[in-house]
Amino acid sequence: QSALTQPASVSGSPGQSITISCTGTSSDVGGYNYVSWYQQHPGKAPKLMIYEVSNRPSGVPDRFSGSKSGNTASLTISGLQAEDEADYYCSSYTSSSTVVFGGGTKLTVL
């Protein structure tokens, strides 16, 4: 199972919005509504930010939103803040009953 495709890096200024894409196939992202997004700060464990494509766990700011179109899922962060600077990973359930992660995207807040 190949990793999902994410851009290596994105950047934005405080207050701006950014979108991170996550491209898979009809056997993973496109075939299921089981897509999650994780935030990981250096030296820390990943933290769940979005589950089932567009749902936010309790405590995650509503500046974070998720969506999906076809085989591509997206994470949008609006009103960027300095503390949003981190690595972001998408993940999806697959038709092989496995889990696959994206390669990760480094978000820089300028």
Q: Least CB distance from residue 37 to another protein, whole Å?
A: 10
Tell whether residue 36 is a contact of another protein (CB under 8 A). Answer: yes
Tell whether residue 100 is a contact of another protein (CB under 8 A). Answer: yes
For residue 7, the number of C-alpha atoms closer than 13 Å in the C-beta half-sphere is: 13
Tell whether residue 88 is a contact of another protein (CB under 8 A). Answer: no
Tell whether residue 98 is a contact of another protein (CB under 8 A). Answer: yes
Smallest CA-to-CA distance from 48 within 108, 103, 101 is with: 101
Tell whether residue 1 is a contact of another protein (CB under 8 A). Answer: yes
Smallest CA-to-CA distance from 15 within 77, 92, 71 is with: 77
Residue 14 CB: number of other CB atoms within 10 A? 11
Tell whether residue 9 is a contact of another protein (CB under 8 A). Answer: no
| Residue closer to another protein (CB basis): 13 or 73 | 73
Smallest CA-to-CA distance from 68 within 30, 100, 17, 39 is with: 30
For residue 41, the number of C-alpha atoms closer than 13 Å in the C-beta half-sphere is: 5
| Residue closer to another protein (CB basis): 14 or 57 | 57
Tell whether residue 48 is a contact of another protein (CB under 8 A). Answer: yes
Tell whether residue 2 is a contact of another protein (CB under 8 A). Answer: no
